[in-house]
């Protein structure tokens, strides 16, 4: 498990109110400011620098940048707006049928029976259907109804920051190339840049930007690796390696992404109904 999420979990348990009132807005703001920063940096500086402002590649860069940013923010918003609370169950499904009563579990906080795979969240103050984990960056719980949006939110954050990293590195190499031959050592490079103040800032600014970009890439990339493992086995974050509900990759995908499966990468607004309401779960043995 990621040490950062475990630290957040520990802090959230100790100070739940502070985590919701301060941790949530700060985390959401970090994503919004970070996305706006890297989008502007790429579109107005790095991509035109590499390919030229009037080039076809620059125009394609704009299309790619807008598509990725739209999916980061769209999926983040859809994730926040879609609740996975047990309250979202359709009427008549709030209580178990007699034959499934033994599968439901009593929540002592909500004081009622909850469907299998539902867990209580102390921050959201209710039980969540197929609870994955509580996410500070979307300010709610990830569960049965919004897992799809979280998956693509993380996917596009990773894709966006990795593309940004690649173009930053290319632009850095281009700068070094302009300042002197690639085989020159660091001393020669510094001497060459000493006469060009703007380029000195360009080079050192680049080191800082690459470092920032690496940090912005690392966390979502790790989370994406976890989420791919979760999708592969139809598991949840805290039981990532359990294969109890593994029905095969195609079915597992549909149980998280809905009937359109991986096509949901196109847009968070693409309709993709989930196969069931999140209260009945088929186990691997019964598949
Ligand atoms: Zn509960
Ligand atoms: Zn929660």
- Cα(261) to centroid(ligand 1), Å: 30
| Cα within 13 Å of Cα(240), Cβ side | 12
Q: 């968070």: which residue's tokens?
A: 268
pLDDT in the model for residue 91? 87
- Cα(95) to centroid(ligand 2), Å: 22
Residues with Cβ within 8 Å of residue 154, at least 6 apart in sequence: 220, 223, 224, 227
- Cα(144) to centroid(ligand 1), Å: 15
Q: Domain range spanning residue 105?
A: 3-286
pLDDT in the model for residue 8? 78
pLDDT in the model for residue 181? 53
Q: Which helix (H) or strand (E) holds 105?
A: strand 105-107
**Count of CB atoms within 10 A of residue 61's CB?**
20
Residue-wise burial string across 187-204, b where 16 or more C-beta atoms lie within 10 A, e elsewhere: eebeebbeeeeebeebbe
- Cα(109) to centroid(ligand 1), Å: 5
- Cα(221) to centroid(ligand 2), Å: 22
Q: What is the pLDDT along the chain (287 residues), one digit of tens a residue?
A: 567 777 777 888 888 888 899 999 999 999 999 999 999 999 998 899 888 889 999 999 999 999 999 999 999 999 999 999 999 999 888 888 888 888 999 999 999 999 999 999 999 999 999 999 999 999 999 999 999 999 999 999 999 999 999 998 888 887 776 665 544 555 555 555 444 444 545 667 778 889 999 999 999 999 999 999 999 999 999 999 999 999 999 999 999 999 999 999 999 999 999 999 999 999 887 55
Q: 């909500």: which residue's tokens?
A: 110
Ligand nearest the Cα atom of residue 139: 2
pLDDT in the model for residue 195? 45
For residue 150, with 0-12 CB atoms within 10 Å meaning exposed, 13-18 middle and 19 or more buried, which class applies?
buried
- Cα(139) to centroid(ligand 2), Å: 8
Residue 111 DSSP label: T
In the chain, the number of structural domains is: 1
- Cα(268) to centroid(ligand 2), Å: 21
Q: How many residues are given for the chain? A: 287
Beta strands in 109-162 (DSSP E): 112-114, 119-121, 126-128, 133-135, 140-142
- Cα(131) to centroid(ligand 1), Å: 11
CB distance 268 to 74 below 8 Å: yes
Residues with Cβ within 8 Å of residue 168, at least 6 apart in sequence: 46, 206, 209, 210, 213
- Cα(49) to centroid(ligand 2), Å: 43
């Amino acid at each position: 498990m990621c040490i950062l999420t475990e630290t957040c979990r520990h802090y959230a348990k100790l100070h739940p109110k502070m985590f919701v009132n301060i941790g949530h807005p700060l985390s959401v703001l970090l994503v919004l400011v970070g996305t706006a920063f890297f989008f502007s940096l790429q579109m107005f500086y790095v991509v035109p620098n590499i390919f030229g402002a009037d080039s076809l590649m620059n125009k394609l860069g704009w299309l790619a940048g807008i598509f990725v940013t739209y999916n980061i923010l769209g999926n983040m918003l859809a994730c926040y707006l879609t609740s996975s609370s047990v309250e979202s169950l359709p009427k008549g499904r709030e209580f178990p049928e007699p034959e499934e009563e033994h599968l439901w579990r009593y929540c002592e906080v909500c004081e009622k029976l909850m469907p299998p795979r539902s867990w209580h969240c102390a921050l959201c103050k209710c039980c969540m259907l197929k609870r994955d984990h509580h996410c500070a960056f979307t300010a709610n719980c990830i569960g049965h109804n919004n897992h799809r949006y979280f998956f693509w939110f993380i996917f596009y954050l990773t894709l966006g920051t990795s593309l940004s990293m690649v173009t930053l590195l290319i632009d850095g190499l281009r700068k070094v190339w302009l300042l002197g031959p690639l085989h020159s050592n660091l001393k020669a490079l510094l001497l060459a840049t000493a006469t060009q103040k703007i380029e000195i800032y360009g080079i050192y600014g680049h080191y800082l930007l690459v470092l920032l970009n690496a940090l912005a890439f690392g966390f979502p990339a790790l989370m994406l690796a976890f989420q791919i493992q979760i999708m592969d086995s139809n598991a949840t974050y805290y039981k990532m390696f359990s294969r109890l509900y593994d029905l095969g990759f195609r079915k597992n995908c549909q149980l998280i992404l809905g009937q359109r499966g991986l096509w949901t990468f196109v847009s968070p607004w693409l309709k993709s109904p989930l196969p069931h309401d999140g209260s009945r779960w088929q186990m691997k043995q019964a598949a």
